[in-house]
Amino acid sequence: MHALSRRDLLGLGVGAATAFGIAGCSSSGAGDGADKQRVQDAVQARSKLIGDGSTADSGAQPHQPERPERLEPGQTPPQFVVFSWDGAGEVGNGLFPRFLKLAKDHGAAMTFFLSGLYLLPESQRHLYEPPNNPLGASAIGYLADEHIKETLRYVRQAWLDGHEIGTHFNGHFCSGTGTVKLWTPQQWQSEIDQAMEFVTKWRTHTGFTDIEPLPFDYRKELVGGRTPCLLGQENLLPTARSLGWRYDASSPGGRQKWPRKKSGLWDFPLQQVPFPGHSFEVLSMDYNMLANQSRNSTKAPPANYPVWRQQATDAYVKGFQRAYETNRAPFFIGNHFEQWNGGIYMDAVEEALKQIADGRKRDVHLVSFRQLTDWLDAQDPEVIDRLQRMDVGERPDGGWNAYLSAA
């Protein structure tokens, strides 16, 4: 699905108070200036270094919603929207901080699927043993030292701002005999163990002494991920379940319906959404917009950019509107920190987020996958079952009050 060079991609893989308690679901509570500094100081004061000091146990994550509440009988379900990012590496183009600021400005929480390899210097590539691939091999390459430092800074900021840090694993193998599609559960275990090693021992591997530790215990924090190219979920799930993960976002494509569980984990697929100007639908990810607009070319003629940018924006917005106005299925959008076709897909997701957030009603929540999982797990199973029965674009029979009162 993703046959692009390292130069073209970075980590390519593809609220109402009643919903989350009084605190709502904003990750923007840190604010700026004095408020942000107080949060930083509080985290620093209670932090306990782990291992070589690459990470630290800082206690509860800041800016999280209170414990989710169950829907009351007949209550309209909230509309959840999850923006997620594959790779989550910063290479000096300013995209990571750009979207951290956007999220803060609009009270959004997001999920960042960190590629463990982005914290391993190329000089240490021999430490990576990818299943069915040569020692140190990677389809996405390695980051320069300065970019590793930037990635560490922004991953730290993301967690402090209330975002989730998931995993995008390591080498991103999408084709050939070494593809993740063919990995066994045991090989997925090896890949996960190595991703954990690269995140929790970056100080040993890099020798950096001028970067603060990541303020979370990753072994406790990590509860889900997305596989490269949306491949290999079937054999990943047994391993993920044994590790106590709670969800997986690796399904190769789904419809805008309420999620179900696979092998005991919530399954959060990217979704088919209306594609303006076409009779078919497109998967809700920047790469899939690119594939349909410019046939995988990341540098198409610029004359196309304005129309394509608007088309991508409208696809996301129409997907949101369809869910919000009908079955209220959680809406998922996937992205990468990329600059394909002049950066139009970054502009499109930014504009879509603004439209969803700025015009939202009190029952729309921009959350992380982990926060969505918390809410789903807190609900009455009979209510979830009723929600799962609804098809794409289906409105509740008799209205929400009648439909969910029956549960």
The per-residue pLDDT for range 294-321, each reduced to its tens digit, is 999 999 999 999 999 999 999 999 999 9
**CATH of the domain spanning 17-28+68-405:** 3.20.20.370
The model's pLDDT over 245-278, given as tens digits with 9 standing for 90+, comes to: 999 999 988 999 999 999 999 999 999 999 999 9
d(CA 141, CA 171): 8
Task: Provide the 10 A C-beta neighbour count for residue 201.
Answer: 18
pLDDT at 18 exceeding the cut of 50: no
For every residue of 174-209, DSSP letters joined together read -SSTT-GGG--HHHHHHHHHHHHHHHHTHHHHH---
The model's pLDDT over 192-235, given as tens digits with 9 standing for 90+, comes to: 999 999 999 999 999 999 999 999 999 999 999 999 999 999 99
pLDDT at 9 exceeding the cut of 80: no
pLDDT band of residue 32 (cuts 50, 70, 90) is low
Least confident window among 29-33, 76-80, 308-312, 338-342? 29-33
d(CA 351, CA 317): 9
Q: Which two tokens stand for residue 64?
A: 């999280």
Give the model's pLDDT for residue 37. 62
What does pTM read for this prediction?
0.91
What amino acid occupies position 86? D
The model's pLDDT over 98-136, given as tens digits with 9 standing for 90+, comes to: 999 999 999 999 999 999 999 999 999 999 999 999 999
Q: What is the mean pLDDT of the chain?
A: 91
- Cβ proximity of 11 and 86 under 8 Å: yes
Give the model's pLDDT for residue 47. 85
- Could you tell me the end-to-end alpha-carbon distance of the chain, in angstroms, rounded to an integer? 41
The domain spans of the chain are: 17-28+68-405
Give the model's pLDDT for residue 27. 40
Instruction: Compute φ and ψ for 94, nearest 5 degrees.
Output: 80, 10
